Amino acid sequence: MRTKLIIFILIILTVVGVAAFLVPIRNIFLSGLVATRTDKNSFEEKREQILSELHLAIEEAEEIGKYKCCIEPLCTMCYLGDWIWKDGTCDCDGLIARGEWDRVCPQCQRGIEEGRCKSEIGTCSVQ
């Protein structure tokens, strides 16, 4: 009878011990999942924030006449300096007006192909 009681207590202790050992592991695992989810969210949030600031800056440049893009929504490539223009300017529309289609930035070319041309001074050729 006594041995049975001792075995019973030992079993209980083992179960409690294993549980106590597993709980932190489970928490680490769960916090890992939460962290991954938060990282993903913060990436999306960061991306949204950067893009909206970028679009605001481009709109401002357009308002003061520095950004003469030919598509709607405006390209971002020229503002970032990834094409022939400097200091956040764009004159793809000027190129279109002169018929220099091949010098328009790739983003604008794609926009034109997608039918997003909004040029008022030139006509976008569909290539």
**CB contact set of 63 (below 8 Å; sequence gap of 6+):** none
State which of positions 80-99 bind Zn ion (CB under 5 A).
Answer: 90, 92
Q: Which is nearer to Zn ion, 39 or 60 (CB)?
A: 60
Q: How far is the CB of 74 from Zn ion (least distance, A)?
A: 7
Looking at this protein, which amino acid is placed at residue 41? N
Instruction: Please check whether residue 107 is in contact with residue 76, taking contact to mean a CB–CB distance below 8 angstroms.
Output: yes
Instruction: Please check whether residue 55 is in contact with residue 73, taking contact to mean a CB–CB distance below 8 angstroms.
Output: yes
User: Does residue 108 touch Zn ion according to CB under 5 A?
Assistant: yes
Among 70, 95, 112, 117, which residue interacts with Zn ion (rule: CB under 5 A)? 70
State how far the Cα of 24 lies from the Cα of 27, in Å rounded to an integer.
Answer: 5
User: Does residue 61 touch Zn ion according to CB under 5 A?
Assistant: no
Instruction: Please check whether residue 99 is in contact with residue 122, taking contact to mean a CB–CB distance below 8 angstroms.
Output: yes
Q: Which is nearer to Zn ion, 17 or 73 (CB)?
A: 73
Segment lying near Zn ion (by CB under 5 A), choices 10-18, 30-38, 58-66, 106-114:
106-114
In sequence order, what are the beta bridge partners of 117?
71
Q: How far is the CB of 96 from Zn ion (least distance, A)?
A: 8
Closest residue to Zn ion using C-beta atoms: 92
User: Does residue 75 touch Zn ion according to CB under 5 A?
Assistant: yes
What DSSP element (H or E) covers 22? helix 2-63
> Where along the sequence are the contacts to Zn ion (CB under 5 A)?
69-71, 75, 77-78, 90, 92, 105, 108
